[in-house]
Amino acid sequence: MDDPFKNNVPDPLLSGDTLPTFKFELEKSQGRVDGGSFGKEATVEQLPISKGLAGVSMRLEPGVTRELHWHATAAEWAFVLQGRCRTTVIGPDGNSEFDDFDAGDVWYFPRGHGHSIECLGDKPCQFILIFDNGYFSEFGTFSVTDWLGHTPKELLAKNLGLAENAFANFPKQEAYFTHGAPPPEKIPAPHQGELRASPQTHKYRLLAQEPYSTHRGGTEWRVGQAQFPISATMTGVVLDLLPGALRELHWHPTSDEWQYVVNGEISVTMFGSQGRYRIETLNAGDVGYIPQGFGHSIENIGNSAARILIAFNTGNYQAIDLTQWLAGTPDYLLRDHFNQAAETIQQFPKRDLFVVPT
């Protein structure tokens, strides 16, 4: 459930005379590299403003698996950029699910649920992981090799019913990425033989759906808890903007916003009261972050279509757009506020535009 009081205490980082940067060049960062596989992250350590959400860009080579692990302090929402991958997940009820994903698909793992991610086929896959806690680090997860590698052998032997010497060649440290043959195309049965399926699916085919909204300047796909019930703490959006198009000035009353530029060049503005205003230019592979309640906009300033992946730390998306606000306000108030003639006020849009074309 969303906490309506989570931002009642002013953030010192956002209380100064100027706004801090809200941009991080994620794909240009080093991260953790294993051959052609990597994980690169954007947390409060890399982008101090991003306290409500963190993100990771991960690439897996064929035969590579992000090992079995869990996150103690964050749920995980993911979007597949390219290639194919398979996830396994188990919940506290003992139910498990195995799913295969293509580009444009989404998964969600609740906080604490054990899972792994495998590259499928003979080509690499890449996906963006987003977490509902900006302090969460992908490199601080709880991994099965790290756990068993530091547990006394006599305890493992008792727990798993094996002789102590059976653990002689187990990894002594976290593997993080494991290497093996590409997974079978057909998903096999779990080790116990019988699959006890999860009551709620962890998979959603976002780009296979009809767009949530279509505009002259762009297209939006959106998925929150209403469409994807397990995604209780996250909403995801894919926003395509044509050259010159603008996701209009707006704010989000109940969530922070995390942005990843899939392709294109965009200009993002942020307004923070008391005359504080900042503009950042984001290119493909860059991350942007807007705190809850701060006014902002996204404009495609490139010569080609731009695609932006956007995540919110709420399952129930809410936004108030500038045109929506003005259209819902009496004309006399607008005249008094802006010191304009009635003829000028009459030219304001009379509906929510959402995306303004070039």
Quick check: is 71 catalytic?
yes
Q: Which domains does the chain show, CATH number per domain?
A: 12-204 (2.60.120.10), 207-356 (2.60.120.10)
Query: Is pLDDT at 6 greater than 60 in this prediction?
Result: no
Catalytic residue among 41, 97, 118, 138: 138
Query: Is pLDDT at 10 greater than 80 in this prediction?
Result: no
Quick check: is 69 catalytic?
yes
Q: Looking at residue 140, what is its pLDDT? A: 87
Question: In terms of pLDDT, which residue wins out, 188 or 337?
Answer: 337
Residue 16: pLDDT band with limits 50, 70, 90? confident
pLDDT tens readout for residues 248-266: 999 999 999 999 999 999 9
Quick check: is 343 catalytic?
no
Catalytic residue among 41, 76, 174, 299: 76
Q: Looking at residue 4, what is its pLDDT? A: 46
Query: Is pLDDT at 193 greater than 90 in this prediction?
Result: no
Can you give the chain as a three-state secondary structure string?
CCCCCCCCCCCHHHCCCCCCCCEECHHHCCCEEECCEEEEEECCCCCCCCCCCEEEEEEECCCEEEEEEECCCCCEEEEEEECEEEEEEECCCCCEEEEEECCCCEEEECCCCEEEEEEECCCCEEEEEEECCCCCCHHHCEEHHHHHHCCCHHHHHHHHCCCHHHHCCCCCCCCCEEECCCCCCCCCCCCCCCCCECCCCCEECHHHCCCCEEECCEEEEEECCCCCCCCCCCEEEEEEECCCCEEEEEECCCCCEEEEEEECEEEEEEECCCCCEEEEEEECCCEEEECCCCEEEEEECCCCCEEEEEEECCCCCCCEEHHHHHHCCCHHHHHHHHCCCHHHHHCCCCCCCCEECC
Catalytic residue among 66, 113, 222, 296: 66
pLDDT, mean of residues 57-74? 98
Q: Looking at residue 1, what is its pLDDT? A: 44
Instruction: Please give the Cα distance from 234 to 214 (Å, whole number).
Output: 22
Catalytic residue among 115, 222, 247, 296: 115
Instruction: Please give the Cα distance from 204 to 43 (Å, whole number).
Output: 25
Quick check: is 210 catalytic?
no
pLDDT tens readout for residues 103-114: 999 999 999 999
Quick check: is 66 catalytic?
yes
Prediction pTM value = 0.95
Catalytic residue among 71, 113, 247, 307: 71
Instruction: Please give the Cα distance from 218 to 241 (Å, whole number).
Output: 4
pLDDT tens readout for residues 104-159: 999 999 999 999 999 999 999 999 999 999 999 998 899 999 999 999 999 999 99
Query: Is pLDDT at 198 greater than 60 in this prediction?
Result: yes
Residues in the chain: 358
Query: Is pLDDT at 320 greater than 60 in this prediction?
Result: yes
Q: Looking at residue 9, what is its pLDDT? A: 65
pLDDT tens readout for residues 201-253: 999 999 999 999 999 999 999 999 999 999 999 999 999 999 999 999 999 99
Quick check: is 76 catalytic?
yes
Q: Looking at residue 261, what is its pLDDT? A: 99
pLDDT tens readout for residues 158-182: 999 999 999 999 999 999 999 999 9
Catalytic residue among 59, 69, 252, 296: 69
Query: Is pLDDT at 40 greater than 50 in this prediction?
Result: yes
